């Protein structure tokens, strides 16, 4: 059985060609005649408009309130962090005047604080001055439990953030901290304007008007946002840099699907750029052959993985909570069962037949930087071994209905992911393997605007996880894996009590893992710290808490006339959009 959920408000499928005036609009009734601009004038206007496609359409422009990359991509065009990491792993200042170091006095010798100097004369796009007060407020917003921010894990080690003056911010840590560069860096470090969010620093955070009409310090400002449809940007007249921007307007369109987005960039040339082209490799190759654009695959830190729910999604507490720690899962708590599930997944077939050059099979969740990649893990596709493990665990088909059972419980699972043809085909491969060893699998597809929304009221988000298995892509968004690994600690479990915040969607809780993570937050020796992270990866993998499928490239389509795109694994693709230009 397959189930598809489409968001009634935001999940509408929009025709990209129609919305951009590339197909005729048929109407009835009387109309005033319209005059088309001269072809030369239209060509100039078209060249000055950057057309971006994000088939997983953004629904909010506050990245601290969303799980999805789609929202952070759109936010990053107008919001900025203090600094970010480029593709070489080097820190690049944005709102910071310089990168802190021991030499310039920014880093304390005891490793317990860092002081950032901020650029002077920076203004928000509404003309208000940017100061250290905004950085302090952003910390207060992100770490306020009533807000329910998705970025809070990056600030776990912070004790205090204080404004020394308008242009200096001091971050003090609870203990000596090697990862001093986690707070306010990269896509989870985007700064919010305190003058617009101060009244929304609590349970009303999602009602802030500027979650939609974002005010930022970046090169472009938002002038129109229809959630689930389109974001329109124009140059920020208050942007601090004097160099002219490449475009007079940016249109970020949502809707459709990954294949239509790829076609619009690679084959027809109707768009300049397509995000997240989760399309089968042979189709991408065929579309690229048209010569209108090229496929760019950035093999970064992301892995497509299946998370196993260690709690029972079919039982409900008195408070109405599903997937609660009160009710352990009837069979996924058993390590033998989890191993059997992993053995039934043909990762090689998924990687080679579906992903091709855009991904490769992997056994790890910690993939980059390379020094953290564990040599102690492996994956195997072995249906006979999987069946034997289930037999040993006591799960057998007692009534000859083709489904294993034990103590009156049938081995049935709901397996969910976001709507995307590549993911649905992956689901089919996984389902086939699981069903062949006696597991009943119901597939469920959820619109990405819901699945990655982090909306605490919606039961179909990755945080709520009201299924047995769920699949998506994630990874460490920083060269330091602290935040990524923190997502498997006990305190990161989303619950009704914490308003469904936290990245530990599978509800894994192991004190030994937590001890390793705590040690990593204080260990200053790089070699010892490396081994701690590898040990954490191994604990997750060898206990089959998640099933990594593919080391997945971030695949985008870039039109032949678009110059300046420079992808990094450590930030969203729009991080350097001020440098994007129209070429010949």
- CATH code at position 272: 3.40.190.10
Do 310 and 456 fall into the same domain? yes
> Percentage of residues in the chain with pLDDT exceeding 90?
85
Do 263 and 154 fall into the same domain? no
Do 521 and 402 fall into the same domain? yes
Tell me what pLDDT residue 2 has.
Answer: 55
Number of domains in the chain: 3
Do 548 and 570 fall into the same domain? no
Do 351 and 277 fall into the same domain? no
The helices-and-strands tally (H runs, E runs) of the chain is 15, 23
Instruction: State the Cα–Cα distance between residues 317 and 324, nearest whole angstrom.
Output: 7
Q: Does residue 359 lie within any of the structural domains?
A: yes
Do 177 and 238 fall into the same domain? no
Q: Does residue 312 lie within any of the structural domains?
A: yes
Tokens (6 digits) for 506: 């599978």
pTM (2 d.p.): 0.83
Band (pLDDT 50/70/90 cuts) for residue 207 is: very high
| Residue at which a domain ends, from 167, 199, 231 | 199
Tell me what pLDDT residue 453 has.
Answer: 87
Q: Does residue 190 lie within any of the structural domains?
A: yes
Which of residues 524 and 549 earns the better pLDDT score?
A: 549
Question: pLDDT tens digit string along 34-46?
Answer: 444 555 544 555 7
Tell me what pLDDT residue 24 has.
Answer: 29
Do 179 and 109 fall into the same domain? yes
Do 269 and 329 fall into the same domain? no
Do 333 and 243 fall into the same domain? no
Q: Does residue 186 lie within any of the structural domains?
A: yes
Q: Does residue 12 lie within any of the structural domains?
A: yes
DSSP string, 200-222: GSSTTGGG-GGGTS---SSSEEE
Q: Does residue 208 lie within any of the structural domains?
A: no
Do 365 and 508 fall into the same domain? yes
Q: Residue 177: which domain range?
A: 83-199
Its sign, for the CA torsion 71, 72, 75, 77, is negative
Q: What is the CATH number of the domain that holds 543?
A: 3.10.105.10
Do 530 and 576 fall into the same domain? no
Judged by DSSP in three states, 583 sits in: coil
Question: Is the per-residue pLDDT at 490 higher than 70?
Answer: yes
* Residue 487: HSE in the Cβ half-sphere, 13 Å Cα cutoff: 24
Q: Give the angle 350-303-267 at the CA atoms, nearest 5°.
A: 65
Question: Is the per-residue pLDDT at 17 higher than 90?
Answer: no
Do 150 and 104 fall into the same domain? yes
């Amino acid at each position: 059985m397959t189930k598809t959920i489409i968001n009634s408000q935001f999940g509408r499928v929009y025709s990209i060609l129609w919305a951009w005036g590339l197909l005729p609009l048929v109407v009835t009734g009387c109309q005033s005649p319209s005059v088309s601009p001269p072809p030369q004038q239209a060509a100039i206007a078209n060249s000055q408009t950057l057309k971006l496609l994000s088939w997983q359409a953004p629904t909010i422009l506050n990245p601290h309130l969303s799980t999805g990359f789609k929202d952070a991509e759109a936010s990053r065009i107008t919001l900025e962090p203090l600094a970010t990491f480029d593709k070489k792993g080097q820190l690049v200042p944005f709102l910071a005047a310089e990168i802190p170091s021991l030499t310039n006095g920014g880093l304390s010798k005891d490793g317990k604080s860092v002081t950032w100097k901020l650029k002077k004369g920076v203004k928000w796009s509404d003309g208000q001055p940017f100061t250290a007060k905004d950085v302090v407020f952003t910390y207060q917003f992100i770490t306020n439990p009533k807000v329910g921010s998705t970025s809070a894990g990056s600030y776990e080690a912070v004790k205090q953030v204080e404004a020394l003056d308008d242009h200096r911010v001091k971050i003090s840590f609870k203990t000596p901290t090697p990862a001093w560069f986690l707070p306010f860096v990269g896509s989870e470090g985007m700064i919010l304007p305190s003058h617009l969010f101060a009244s929304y620093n609590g349970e009303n955070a999602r009602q802030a008007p500027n979650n939609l009409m974002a005010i930022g310090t970046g090169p472009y400002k938002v002038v129109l946002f229809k959630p689930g449809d389109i974001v329109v940007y124009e140059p920020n007249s208050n942007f601090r840099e004097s160099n002219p921007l490449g475009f007079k307007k940016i249109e970020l369109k949502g809707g459709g699907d990954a294949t239509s987005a790829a076609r619009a960039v690679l084959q027809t040339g109707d768009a300049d750029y397509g995000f997240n082209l989760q399309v089968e490799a042979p189709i991408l190759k065929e579309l690229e052959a048209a010569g209108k654009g090229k496929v760019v695959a950035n093999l970064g830190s992301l892995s497509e993985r299946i998370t196993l729910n260690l709690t029972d999604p079919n039982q409900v507490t008195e408070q109405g909570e599903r997937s609660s720690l009160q009710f352990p899962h009837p069979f996924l708590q058993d390590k033998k069962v989890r191993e059997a599930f992993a053995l039934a997944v043909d990762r090689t077939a998924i990687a080679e037949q579906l992903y091709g050059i855009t991904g490769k099979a992997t056994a790890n969740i910690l993939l980059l930087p390379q020094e953290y990649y564990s040599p102690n893990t492996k994956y195997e596709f072995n249906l006979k071994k999987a069946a034997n493990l289930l037999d040993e665990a006591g799960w057998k088909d007692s009534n000859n209905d083709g489904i294993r059972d034990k103590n009156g419980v049938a081995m049935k699972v709901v397996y969910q992911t976001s709507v995307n043809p590549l993911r649905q085909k992956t689901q089919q491969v996984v389902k086939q393997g699981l069903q062949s060893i006696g597991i009943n699998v119901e597939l469920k597809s959820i619109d990405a605007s819901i699945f990655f929304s982090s909306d605490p009221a919606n039961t179909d988000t990755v945080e709520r996880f009201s299924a047995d298995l769920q699949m998506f892509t994630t990874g460490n968004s920083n060269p330091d894996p602290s935040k990524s690994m923190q997502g498997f600690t006990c305190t990161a479990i989303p619950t009704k009590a914490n308003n469904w915040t936290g990245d530990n969607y599978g509800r894994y809780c192991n004190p030994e893992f937590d001890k390793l993570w705590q040690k990593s937050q204080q260990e200053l020796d790089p070699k010892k710290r490396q081994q701690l992270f590898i040990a954490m990866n191994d604990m997750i993998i060898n206990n089959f808490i998640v099933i990594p499928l593919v080391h997945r490239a971030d695949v985008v389509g870039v039109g032949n006339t678009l110059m300046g795109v420079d992808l990094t694994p450590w930030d969203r693709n729009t991080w350097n959009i001020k440098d994007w230009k129209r070429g010949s």
